[in-house]
Structure 1
Amino acid sequence: MVYTGVLTKMQTEFLEPIQYYLVFENDFIHINQLLNKSIDIKRVGYQCLSCGLDRPIFRQGFCKTCFFEKPLAGDWIMRPELSTAHLGKEDRDLEYEKKVQLQPHIVYLANSSNVKVGVTRKSQVPTRWIDQGAHEALEIVEVPNRYLAGITEVALKDHVADKTNWRTMLKNEIKDEDLLEWKQSLKKYIPEEALPYFIENNKETHLHFPVEKYPEKLKSLNLTKTPHYSGKLVGIKGQYLIFEDNTVFNVRSNEGAVVELQV
């Protein structure tokens, strides 16, 4: 069976284990069903996720023009402390920025390779944790806009990591942590404006991924450099496909590639 479409990040369901889906314009693939099967991936072009044109992808699935001009790629996406919609100030498109920034956001702790702090819209819990390959996570504060979440993350990352070691995450070299204890120890560093939104009573969320074999020595597949690859799928974690030969493929970092996928 051959499927053709534009890569976007895998859609997920929070089940036991996590369920993964690739969604193309005319096809829908349940990736869990492909475990222990050989998959052939071939890049046949590009399609910017914003303008839809066949242009080389610059970052985040966008061509260079769209990355620097469209609101979907504003600096506040990666750095939420730069959000200004709560002040009525436009970055690239105020209406879009209000829609995204002026909604409940969560500052959380997640343990993928180590304990880290992060920010996501409340509507993206637990999707954000799944995408990061976290095996446990816990909300710290729930604030009414992205700016408050951003300044809280900035304050906390002086005392806890804000990055995931993707190699450690994929090798499953992890240990359980007491995130409730971490939360309480970090409380004193939360900015005064966000402290009223501290979540006093909650429990850790635990996530389990469909992986039959973890890689030992990682080989990262990038379709720009290697447009054609075949291998046996043995796991899915975060936004990565894990193959039997230790090749790992980050679907999200290859967004915008037009592929032919043969099973």
Structure 2
Amino acid sequence: MAKPVVVGVDGSPSSLDAVETAAREAVLSGVGLRLVHAFGWSSIHPPHGGPPWHRAEAGVRELLDGTLTEAELRAHRIAPDTDITREVVPGEPVVVLEIESRTASLVVVGSRGLGAFGGLLLGSTAVHLATYGHCPVLVVRGRPDPTGPVLLAVDGSPAGERAVEFAFAEASVRGADLLALHVWNTWGERVHEGPDDPSRIVVDVDRLREEEQRLLDDTLSPWQSRYPRVTVERRAARSRVRPALIEASRDAQLVVAGARGRGGFRGLLLGSVSQALLQHAHCPVAVVRGNG
């Protein structure tokens, strides 16, 4: 049985946008859609020792049902033939959605939520899921260009291989081009071009540029042969990594990145580039963790 797309719902505009995005993803992938509202008592201050669904907490259950009903109506408008299920799950949002990710093909969340009720889909929740989720996590933010490419942040690391696969698959089902952007530099985030470039004293920049282009080509070639109908633009650029990717996201419909790249510290679960995209990209961001 195919794993569904799971979307977190809290009734906020951001989460309802996420529902519509998740519905489109379910249609493209040909899988079901699961709407989940995490219900945590810490957010509504229940009576001391009170049971989770005590009727004295007037209107709470009805409010939850109304939130999911609105979400389901939106999902059905986007995906009328998709199998859609809904559930209220007791527990803290970050925990509930992390557990849901174990049996999902994709988890979709908004970039921020209500906070006052449920606390679902705050920026910290998106970061937590991108860090610890068991499947790709798509965070809906910005204003995607529906005619733009899928933007893939290529780092050439083994951990980034699943992100490459995900980006090719997304470009294929969307009928979109793929812009594979590999940004590199020699002095951290400081970039200086020209004959007086200090890095030329200790580094053969031209040779390094060739090596970085080769890394990009080697990363993409196996997947290009598996997805021959996807038009791929390969771009290697010497620049500041995070600003370059954020700027490129202006014209994209989706940006895809691995959870951490070859520049990250061992044991670091979410890299600075992924975090920067989650916070500043101009379109939705999919973060894909590597194996292990």
- With normalisation by structure 2, the TM-score equals 0.24
The structure carrying a bigger helix percent of its residues is 2
Hey, which of these two has a bigger chunk of strand by percent?
A: 1
Structure number with greater Rg is: 2
| Greater relative contact order, per chain length (Cα 8 Å cut-off, separation 6+) | 1
